[in-house]
Every structure is written in structure tokens, then in C-alpha cells.
Amino acid sequence: MNLDSLTQNNGEWLRGNGPEADIVISSRIRLARNLSSYPFSNRGSAHQKAEIETSLRDRLTRLDFMPRLEYLMLPGLSSIDRQLLVERQLISRELANTEGPRGVAVCPQETVSIMINEEDHLRLQVMRSGFALDEAWQDIDRLDDQIEQRVNYAFSEEFGYLTACPTNVGTGMRSSVMLHLPALVLTKQIEKVFRALQKINLAVRGLYGEGSRASGDFYQISNQVTLGKSETTILTEIREVIPQIISYERQARSTLTRESRQALHDRVRRAYGTLKNAMMMTSEETMDLLSSVRLGVNLGLIEDVSIPTVNELFIHTQPAHLQKLMGAALDGEERNAARARYLSSRLRENGPHLN
């Protein structure tokens, strides 16, 4: 796989279509799996890890799963390439930053990724644009069955799929839906939503998962419990709560347009103007401003830029993507200048008509 080509498209999760795509960015399911006759990654010797990597890589590339998976060995990649895969949500920060034999199998559409030698021997992931948990589950369930024909999973009848961390044991499944909730943030109701979700044992994380802050008003809602509930039950619990959050966000959007339309319009246009004209732009500020612009486009306050373009800018302005696009390694200051230039040129491609 030519990693440079990744920057030329949006990948699955920022494709910008799919059900409820103005609010639901993507649906994602991951399964944690381990081989039954090896120690977990953190306890495996270098030799054992190499053995696991070789044998799993071999089996994964021979899967008759369509589309075909391509395998990338992490130690052979530059740190920018590893970071690029993190930014595209194909690998975790942990896989990017640890040492030793490890890799990822990816399909060209970027809907499937399988990490080898992360915290667990195997981390399967399926991603879908928009609100599509059921489709994601069907895909990953089938993929899991195919792998299991060739690999002996660590499984016990009592505890289910055995994982390195007891927080994942059982189904080994983490299913999450990524939402764009700018109006709930603006109307300061987001905390209320969090508290309600925590009561029903769902976790809320930022764009890049554990420990990351919710930049760009993106939030991932996911299950915490993996033991004692079936996959179907867990998926139903999430599937039932998402429409409620979507309707809160819609209510907040209509309140904003009704009660403070001018202030909202001003905010959106300022964001758009700053993105077009600034000379230096950090990635944090970019995320915040693009979030306002995305809201403005969805509410019809800006008409000369499309949602797929805004989505693309979210990912293209991330540090590794930006450096790939510029074709050079850049330090922080250089990146901020390059980011501002890139945003300005991309947004000026569109006409000057503001609604």
C-alpha cells in the first residue's frame, strides 16, 4: 500500500455520507482477540512476538475476505507514516508508539483494519460512515469467524474471549459511534448528556479515543461493559441512545437558529473568514473553527463549501497528513504556517458567495 495515496481520499469515516451523516460521523466496532497458546503481548518475549506476527500475518493475507487486505509492518514505517495511520484511525497510538514486531492489515477502502501485537494479539476493527452499527457488526462478525477458522483463540466458557486487560474480557467488543455535537457544546448542555450516558455505563471520549480531548466537538460514545452482556444487547443499548442524542443536538441547533441566529451566523462567518485568511494556524484552532463551519454548512449559513470538503480539511490539517501533503517534515511553527496556507488555498477554490 502506498501510504502517500491515503492523503488523496477521505477514508471511510470522513466520507460524509451514510445515515444521519450531518451529526453521526462514523460507526466503529472493534474486537480484542488473543491466541490461546501464547502469553499476552506485554509478557511475550521478542521471539514469541515475532513468531505471532509472522504466523498471523501469513494467515491474514491468505483470508478469502474481500476486499483483499494489505499488510503493513510497523517497524519499517517512518514516524510520520505511523502517525498518518493513527490520524486515519487505522491504528491506535499504542501500536504506533510501542516497540517490537507488530503490524496492521488494512483494506483499501479503510473500512477494515486488523492490528497485530497491540495490547492483545489481534485487534479487529470495522468502520462505517454514518450511523451503521448493525452493518459494522455483520462485517466484523464474519471477519472474526473467518480468522477463527485459521487461528485458535483464547476463549473460556466462563469468561468468554480472554484479553490482557480484564476491562475487555467477555465479548472483547468495543462499539462506538462518533458524533459531531457543536450545538450541544455551544448551548452548554453537553455535560448533561455525558452524565446521562455515564449512568447507563456508556463512555464518552474525544476524537482519538482514550485520554484525548474532544477537539472539533467530536465525541465518541462507546460501551464500557464487555462481560455479561451479549454483543446484540450491547449494540442495542447504544443504538437506542444515539437517536436521543441526535434529537437533543437537533433541538439545540434549532434553538440557536431561532434565538440567536445573528450571533450564530457571526460565529460561523468569523470562523470561515479566519480559516481563509490567517497566516498561522494550530491544529487545535483549526478543529474548533472547522467545527463552526461544519455547523454553518449543515444549517445552510454557508453554501460555498461542501461537507465532504470540510471533513477532508479536518483530517488533512492533522500534523502527519499536512506533512505528507507538503512533502516535507515540518516543525511546529512551520506546520502552523503551512496549515494556514493550505486552508486558505483550499477554501478559496470555492466561490466567494456567503449566504
Partner 1 sequence: MKCQSCEEPATVHVTNIVNGHKRESHLCKSCAEKQQFLKHQELNLSAILQTVIGQHIGPMTDELSRLTCPSCGIKYMEFKAGGRLGCPNDYRVFQSALEPLLEKIHRSRRHVGKVPPHATKNAARQAELMDFRNQLRQAVETEAYEEAARLRDLIRQKETADEPG
Using CB under 8 A, list all residues that contact partner 1: 34, 36-40, 42-43, 45, 48, 119, 141, 144-145, 148-150, 152-167, 169-171, 210-211, 225-233, 332
Least Cβ distance, residue 250 to partner 1 (angstroms): 29
| Amino acid of residue 276 | K
CA nearest to 93, candidates 10, 207, 226:
207
Question: Which residue lies nearer to partner 1 by CB, 164 or 322?
Answer: 164
Estimate the crossing angle of helix 283-298 against helix 261-277, to 10 degrees. Answer: 130
* Cell numbers describing residue 297: 454548512
Estimate the crossing angle of helix 332-348 against helix 319-326, to 10 degrees. Answer: 70
Whole-Å CA distances, 253 to 260, 264, 265: 10, 10, 12
Question: Which residue lies nearer to partner 1 by CB, 15 or 102?
Answer: 102
Least Cβ distance, residue 54 to partner 1 (angstroms): 13
Calpha distance 312→236 (Å, rounded): 31
Calpha distance 101→118 (Å, rounded): 10
Least Cβ distance, residue 74 to partner 1 (angstroms): 20
Least Cβ distance, residue 147 to partner 1 (angstroms): 10
In 149-230, which residue ranges form alpha helices assigned H by DSSP? 182-186, 190-199
Q: What is the DSSP letter of 75?
A: G
DSSP E strands, the chain: 24-33, 70-73, 103-106, 112-116, 122-129, 155-156, 160-161, 173-180, 202-205, 218-223
Question: Which residue lies nearer to partner 1 by CB, 140 or 183?
Answer: 140
Whole-Å CA distances, 309 to 10, 100, 304, 320: 9, 37, 10, 18
Question: Which residue lies nearer to partner 1 by CB, 27 or 171?
Answer: 171
Calpha distance 53→100 (Å, rounded): 10
Question: Which residue lies nearer to partner 1 by CB, 48 or 251?
Answer: 48
Calpha distance 115→92 (Å, rounded): 9
* Cell numbers describing residue 47: 521471539
Least Cβ distance, residue 58 to partner 1 (angstroms): 11
Question: Which residue lies nearer to partner 1 by CB, 20 or 334?
Answer: 334
